[in-house]
Structure formats: C-alpha cells, structure tokens
Amino acid sequence: MCEVTIYHNPRCTKSRQTLALLRDQGIQPNVVEYLKTPPNEQTLGKLVKLLGIEPHELIRKKEYRALDLPQTDDPDEIIARMATHPQIIERPIVITGKKACLGRPPENVLEIL
C-alpha cells in the first residue's frame, strides 16, 4: 500500500474520527497538523486538483466569514487566502497515492484506501 497522509486538526471531531478510522484499518498515516504547518499555495493547488474540486469548495464558510475578507471568485486568490489563513481549510483531507478525499464523513476515506 502507498503512503497515506492526513491533513489533520486535533481539535476537530471529524478529523479525530478520520484519523482513528485510518488507524483501525491498520494504517499509520503521515499526520500533517496543517494549523501548525500550513500548506503553501502550490501544495493547496495540488490538493484541490487531487480532490477534483474547485478551490472555493475547500473553504470552511463560517471561518472564512469570520475573517471578514472581501468576496472573490478568483481561484488563485482563494488558494492564497487558504495558505495565509489555514483555519479556513476544510478538514480532514486524506491523500493516498494519486487519490484524495475529504473525511466528511470519515467513512469517505474508505473509498480511496
């Protein structure tokens, strides 16, 4: 099996549940606490592509609104904002090989294992 990485926030219930699910499957993933080690714009661009979504779909709406940032539809600007404000990144993100998914609900990750 290829390496598994989880972009994880230990304070998030879904993120903790997803990490536990991976470990229950016998997988010890590479854990990236993205609030401590935020992904850069290039990494975020790759994550969005792997997930098969648009950048705005990776935004946590409530956290984004709390920053009171001006609205934008520019995908590059949205990625730049996620790199600057990692708390607005939806979580958890699990990557395995050339596949990725959001662990909302945690069982979603079973599709890429």
Per-residue pLDDT tens over the stretch 35-74: 999 999 999 999 999 999 999 999 999 999 999 999 999 9
CA–CA dist 3, 28 (Å, integer)? 9
Overall domain count for the chain: 1
Average pLDDT of the chain, as a whole number = 96
Query: Token pair of 77, please?
Result: 């600007």
Determine if the pTM surpasses 0.85: yes
pLDDT at 2 (0 to 100): 82
Quick one: average pLDDT of 92-108?
Answer: 96
101 catalytic residue (yes or no) = no
Which CATH number fits the domain that encloses residue 37?
3.40.30.10
pLDDT at 1 (0 to 100): 61
**Residue-number span of the structural domain to which 16 is assigned:** 4-112
Q: Could you tell me the sign of the dihedral formed by the alpha carbons of 6, 8, 10, 13, in that order?
A: negative
CA–CA dist 94, 6 (Å, integer)? 4
Query: Which one from 4, 6, 12, 26 is the annotated catalytic residue?
Result: 12
Q: Facing residues of 89 across strands?
A: 59
Quick one: average pLDDT of 66-90?
Answer: 96
Q: Could you tell me the sign of the dihedral formed by the alpha carbons of 101, 107, 112, 113, in that order?
A: positive
